A and B are shown apart, each in its own frame.
Chain A
Amino acid sequence: DAKTTQPPSMDCAEGRAANLPCNHSTISGNEYVYWYRQIHSQGPQYIIHGLKNNETNEMASLIITEDRKSSTLILPHATLRDTAVYYCIVSTTGANSKLTFGKGITLSVRP
């Protein structure tokens, strides 16, 4: 089973920041937080990941709380094309690690 909890859905206005929360209270010290998204029935798309520091790339920012029990994915200027299911996943990077997808959060960006 997925080790993260996400609200089932949220929406935001186009051009505004979308803040997607995730709880991972049982995260282990060697587990990373990964975010992926799936647009319609396409293959999941990697967005960003982090261990304990905040991370930013061209797609998004990832804010991880100091206790690492929760995180927030920030899409700074959401567009209609950001409408998708967003998955927060915790995973180790050892030889037997794998991504376990939960139900994710459906983000709807409205015009």
Chain B
Amino acid sequence: EPEVTQTPSHQVTQMGQEVILRCVPISNHLYFYWYRQILGQKVEFLVSFYNNEISEKSEIFDDQFSVERPDGSNFTLKIRSTKLEDSAMYFCASSASRGVTGGQYGYTFGSGTRLTVV
């Protein structure tokens, strides 16, 4: 069964440093997402991406965050200057389509990257 692959599985970084979290979505999917989950809290939406641009972002996704699809396979989340409160699990997800087929496809999530900011 196709999978969404995230690397690294665990990243430790010092406060103020930049990190890039990497994701390889399922190859024929068109929509890409980043979510995060702070330990013990809800899964929170960060950003959605379609047709090489951001289609929606949450209040959490401020200027320190950016996303990119640098080639046909990778989807990255960059955090420019990490803060202690950025420590969380970050999940990438992809889906095949929305709208046209009336919600026939669910999201496939990756296993996540645990980001620890020290």
Contacts and interface: CB of A to CB of B under 8 A. Distances in A.
Given A99-B45, A101-B44, A93 B91 contact: no
Interface in A28-71: 32, 34, 36, 38, 41-47, 49, 51
B77 interface: no
Contacts of B48: 96, 98
B58 to A, nearest CB: 8
Contact of A93 (B4, B42, B102, B109): B102
Given A32-B103, A96-B55, A98-B56, A44 B89 contact: no
Interface SS of chain B: strand
Interface residues on B, range: 20 to 34
Given A34-B106, A102-B42, 5 more contacts: A43-B109, A45-B109, A93-B98, A94-B99, A101-B45
Interface of B: 4, 33, 35, 37, 42-45, 48, 50, 55-56, 89, 91, 93, 98-99, 101-103, 106-112, 114
Closest 4 CB pairs of A and B: A46-B106, A43-B109, A93-B103, A101-B43
